[in-house]
């Protein structure tokens, strides 16, 4: 009796081990899949689409505030 139960457990385990796609809702056909719509939406909202590839600096900024923040982070990470 114990051998039959162990054998049926092994058969059940081995038969279900290949069914990962059936239990994962994102792997089933007909369900949601990423299409890149979020990136398209951001590109449509950008004033200058080339900014998504390479940003622009502010022509009126001298950069002191930004460089201070970067220096502070650099000092904090190197002090450890």
Provide the residue ranges of all domains of the chain, joining segments of one domain with +: 2-78
Nearest 5°: the CA angle 44, 48, 53 is 90
CB distance 33 to 26 below 8 Å:
yes
Residue 16, CB-side half-sphere exposure with 13 Å CA sphere? 8
pTM: 0.31
CB atoms within 10 A of CB 20: 9
The pLDDT tens digits along the chain (80 residues) read 788 888 888 877 777 666 655 667 777 777 777 787 888 888 888 888 788 888 777 777 777 777 777 787 777 666 55
Instruction: Give the whole-angstrom CA distance, residue 18 versus residue 20.
Output: 6
Residues 6 or more apart from 53 whose CB is under 8 A from it?
none
- The pLDDT tens digits for 38-58 are 888 888 888 887 888 887 777
């Amino acid at each position: 009796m114990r051998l039959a139960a162990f054998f049926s457990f092994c058969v059940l385990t081995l038969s279900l081990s290949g069914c990962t796609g059936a239990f994962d809702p994102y792997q089933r056909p007909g369900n949601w899949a990423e299409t890149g719509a979020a990136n398209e939406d951001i590109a449509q909202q950008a004033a200058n689409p080339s900014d998504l590839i390479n940003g622009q600096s502010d022509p009126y900024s001298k950069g002191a505030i930004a460089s201070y923040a970067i220096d502070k982070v650099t000092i904090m990470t190197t002090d450890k």
